[in-house]
């Protein structure tokens, strides 16, 4: 059947018409592309306007067009507009092709003759291609109303609560024994100096007791299969050696356990916990966890003090890891960050000079529930520092470590300055490259800290050393810095140094990303669908990223993202089904030779080999439409809708004016 093609050339005001002779392009298309099937070519001031669209709709109906080419802007802008217009006129929307003569021609070239010639080639390419387009239907898949939230920090908690409050079920998975995340370790939160636990723990309890939330702590996701609306997730629930049905959380086991262990996680190595423990008093859930590596019974085979004293008989030394299989429709990843390892900046002496502290260590020192009951003291556990230096940008904005700004460290450094000042009266120095206090009430906090008398030195610290050069420096930590405002080198002796370390992607972010089918940026943070307009969605439908997993951010932004992702999830759930772009690969099994060349190419596990028939098959629901397998098939057995070989080759021929007179500019 001969196709009847309509070509519509847009002026876009003067955006296109100023550089491209649009009338010439339309006349040329009508005259020279007739053999290709063009029966009408028009130009109009604004094709995207309702009048422009009506023009196309009218032609489809009256002239019986079977294909439409709109030579206008980028398909990313108005493809949908013209597809909808075609649909309104009864033409399958996928039989419309956009020729981008604005972004690719008029806006990037100056010579009118050259630009007009190129516009003709682009139109010719689109006409050749559209003939090969096939009528397609959107693919609809049902949505499972359950949601998985991975990570129980504040972002994940917020996300889980929003969805649960809307009446839908959430599985909240956390790999530590308690939810709460990094926020549970903090003392105060900037800029309001709210007590972190006071604002966080009610949310934790709400999440822990919510009828719509299944809380799975001490658990990790080990496998993800399926696609939007229909994910199948495997979760490993690690053995706690505590029967959760029987445990009341009374804490007697922790009291009686004779084994003390340095707490590297929650107390940042500054305090102790027992071998059976809850990480902190307000932990949710309140069931303890037995640390098998350190438990005397597991090491020596005797002890069982906890079992002896447990009033409900909840200790179970024979408990095994459990594999849970759940089905969910959407997944929110709130996996958080790792703190930059300050040991890597060896010239700052962390790990070598005892009185150099990391930010997390300081959080625990200043926390009233921490190992020193909130007393800010040196590593000896008793001396109050008289002078403290706080170094900003540790591991951030540094080509040797991380190029990016970790966002929170300036405000964190200011918060530390305030707390040291308030609790010890010590002289406080803040060493900064630039002071970044954007967002609501942040700069006001900076002004407040300035007024409190904190001394600010602008310059990147070169070194922290204990090698004194004079009496004044003896027994002190000396901060060597170029004061870039005074324009000179300074040596400032202090008792204590706090490193305002930056944030890093989780050490396993790459593997986690791969498991969920999403990618990481060069820096290692999860990549959002659009950095501005779609910051919580990812390129994989049904997977969302919130909080620091997406990039460094503060608590308000993490909470906002958690809620934002939930709105997107609820939107999906309420639609009950989701429409997928019909760009998919499929195998013509009559042509498939079973060579398996394509089998290893799909990162979405859409390709499977059917052993019985010795042919390959592609699951359209898993296929993301990249077309890599289509390009790889030596038998030409795989075809990809939307971007078929025929369409692409036709476009090449069209662009190259194959079988047409060459255009002379």
DSSP reduced 3-state for 243: coil
514 is a contact residue toward other proteins (CB under 8 A): yes
665 is a contact residue toward other proteins (CB under 8 A): yes
627 is a contact residue toward other proteins (CB under 8 A): yes
Instruction: Round to whole Å and give the CA distance between 394 and 353.
Output: 16
CB of 648 to other proteins, least distance (A): 6
Confirm if 238 and 244 have CB atoms less than 8 A apart: no
Nearer to other proteins, 567 or 660 (CB): 660
Instruction: Round to whole Å and give the CA distance between 44 and 211.
Output: 59
376 is a contact residue toward other proteins (CB under 8 A): no
371 is a contact residue toward other proteins (CB under 8 A): no
CB of 585 to other proteins, least distance (A): 10
586 is a contact residue toward other proteins (CB under 8 A): no
Nearer to other proteins, 108 or 369 (CB): 108
- 3-state SS of 71-89 is EECCHHHHHHHHHHHHHHC
The 8-class DSSP code of residue 520 comes to B
599 is a contact residue toward other proteins (CB under 8 A): no
Among the listed residues 286, 521, 586, 619, the single contact to other proteins using CB under 8 A: 521
Among the listed residues 102, 188, 364, 436, the single contact to other proteins using CB under 8 A: 102
DSSP reduced 3-state for 527: coil
CB of 626 to other proteins, least distance (A): 4
Residues 60-99 that bind other proteins (CB under 8 A): 74-76
- 3-state SS of 451-484 is HCCCEEEECCEEEEECCCCCHHHCCCEEEEEEEC
Nearer to other proteins, 122 or 305 (CB): 122
Instruction: Round to whole Å and give the CA distance between 297 and 255.
Output: 16
Confirm if 239 and 320 have CB atoms less than 8 A apart: yes
Residue 76: CB atoms within 10 A of its CB come to: 10
CB of 541 to other proteins, least distance (A): 12
HSE-CB for 538 with a 13 A CA cutoff:
27
The number of residues that bind other proteins (CB under 8 A) is: 53
**Which structure tokens are listed for 57?**
């709709």
522 is a contact residue toward other proteins (CB under 8 A): yes
Nearer to other proteins, 11 or 102 (CB): 102
CB of 552 to other proteins, least distance (A): 19
Any long-range contacts for 632-635 (C-beta under 8 Å, 24+ apart)?
632/597, 632/598, 632/601, 633/597, 633/598, 634/593, 634/595, 634/597, 635/591, 635/592, 635/593, 635/595
CB of 633 to other proteins, least distance (A): 9
Q: What does residue 96 show for φ and ψ, rounded to 5 degrees?
A: -110, 135
Selected range binding other proteins among 133-141, 282-290, 394-402, 521-529, rule: CB under 8 A: 521-529
112 is a contact residue toward other proteins (CB under 8 A): no
Nearer to other proteins, 104 or 466 (CB): 104
Among the listed residues 24, 103, 443, 646, the single contact to other proteins using CB under 8 A: 103
Among the listed residues 32, 42, 45, 109, the single contact to other proteins using CB under 8 A: 109
Which string of x and - marks every residue 403-442 that binds other proteins (by CB under 8 A)?
Answer: ----------------------------------------
303 is a contact residue toward other proteins (CB under 8 A): no
Among the listed residues 504, 630, 637, 639, the single contact to other proteins using CB under 8 A: 630
Instruction: Round to whole Å and give the CA distance between 303 and 461.
Output: 51
From the list 486, 21, 1, the residue with the least C-alpha distance to 11 is 21
Element (H, E) at 493: strand 488-494
Instruction: Round to whole Å and give the CA distance between 266 and 183.
Output: 11
Can you give the binding site for other proteins, defined by CB under 8 A?
74-76, 100, 102-105, 107-111, 114-115, 118, 121-122, 125, 514, 517, 519-522, 527, 539, 583, 601, 603-604, 624-628, 630-632, 640, 642-643, 645, 648-649, 651-653, 655-658, 665
């Amino acid at each position: 059947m001969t196709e009847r093609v309509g070509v519509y050339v847009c002026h876009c005001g003067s955006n296109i018409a100023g550089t491209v002779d649009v009338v010439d392009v339309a006349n040329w298309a009508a005259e020279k592309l007739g053999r290709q099937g063009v029966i009408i070519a028009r130009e109009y001031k604004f094709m995207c306007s309702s009048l422009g669209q009506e023009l196309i709709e009218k032609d489809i109906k009256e002239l019986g067009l079977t294909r439409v080419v709109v030579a206008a802007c980028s398909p990313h802008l108005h493809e949908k507009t013209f597809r909808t217009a075609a649909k309104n006129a009864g033409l399958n929307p996928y039989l419309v092709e956009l020729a981008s003569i604005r972004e690719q021609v008029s806006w990037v070239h100056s010579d009118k003759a050259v630009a007009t010639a190129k516009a003709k080639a682009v139109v010719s390419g689109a006409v050749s291609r559209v003939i090969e387009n096939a009528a397609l239907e959107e693919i609809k898949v049902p949505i499972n109303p359950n949601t998985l939230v991975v990570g129980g920090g504040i972002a994940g908690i917020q996300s889980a609560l929003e969805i649960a409050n809307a009446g839908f079920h959430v599985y909240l998975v956390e790999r530590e024994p308690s939810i709460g995340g990094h926020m549970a370790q903090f003392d105060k939160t900037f800029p309001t100096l709210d007590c972190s636990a006071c604002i966080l723990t009610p949310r934790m309890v709400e999440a822990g007791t919510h009828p719509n939330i299944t809380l799975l702590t001490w658990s990790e996701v080990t496998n993800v299969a399926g696609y939007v609306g229909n994910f199948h997730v495997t979760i490993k629930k690690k053995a706690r050696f505590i029967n959760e049905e029987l445990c009341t959380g009374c804490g007697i086991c922790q009291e009686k356990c004779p084994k003390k262990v340095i707490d590297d996680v929650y107390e940042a190595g500054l305090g102790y916990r027992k071998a059976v423990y809850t990480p902190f008093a307000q932990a949710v859930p309140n069931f303890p966890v037995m640390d098998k590596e350190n438990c005397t019974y597991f090491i020596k085979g005797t002890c069982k003090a906890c079992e002896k004293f447990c009033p409900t008989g909840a200790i179970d030394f024979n408990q095994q890891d459990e594999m849970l299989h759940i089905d969910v429709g959407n997944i929110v990843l709130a996996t958080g960050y790792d703190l930059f390892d300050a040991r890597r900046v060896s010239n700052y002496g962390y790990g070598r000079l005892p009185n150099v502290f990391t930010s997390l260590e300081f959080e625990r020192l200043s926390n009233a529930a921490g190992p020193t009951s909130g007393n800010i003291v040196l590593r000896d556990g008793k001396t109050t520092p008289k002078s403290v230096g706080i170094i900003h940008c540790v591991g951030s904005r540094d080509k040797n470590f991380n190029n990016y700004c970790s966002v929170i460290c300036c405000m964190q450094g200011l918060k530390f300055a305030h707390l040291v000042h308030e609790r010890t009266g010590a002289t406080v120095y803040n060493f900064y490259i630039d002071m970044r206090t954007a967002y609501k009430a942040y700069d006001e906090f900076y002004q407040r800290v300035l007024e409190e008398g904190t001394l600010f030195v602008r310059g990147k610290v070169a070194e922290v050393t204990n090698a004194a050069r004079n009496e004044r420096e003896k027994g002190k930590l000396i901060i060597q810095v170029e004061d870039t405002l005074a324009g000179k080198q300074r040596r400032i002796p202090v008792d204590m140094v706090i490193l305002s370390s930056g944030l890093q992607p989780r050490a396993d972010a790459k593997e986690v990303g791969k498991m969920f089918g999403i990618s990481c940026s060069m820096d290692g943070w999860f990549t959002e669908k659009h950095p501005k307009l779609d910051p919580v969605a990812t390129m994989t439908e049904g997977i969302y990223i919130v909080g620091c997993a997406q990039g460094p951010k503060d608590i308000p932004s993490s909470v906002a993202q958690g809620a934002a992702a939930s709105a997107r999830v609820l939107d999906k759930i309420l639609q009950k089904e989701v429409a997928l772009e019909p760009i998919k690969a499929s195998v013509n099994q009559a042509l498939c030779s079973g060579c398996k060349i394509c089998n290893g190419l799909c990162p979405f596990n859409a390709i499977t080999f059917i052993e019985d028939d010795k042919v390959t098959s592609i699951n359209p629901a898993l296929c993301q439409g990249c077309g890599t397998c289509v390009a790889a098939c030596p038998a030409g057995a795989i075809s990809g809708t939307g971007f078929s070989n025929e369409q692409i080759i036709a476009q090449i021929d069209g662009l190259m004016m194959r079988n047409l007179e060459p255009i002379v500019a």
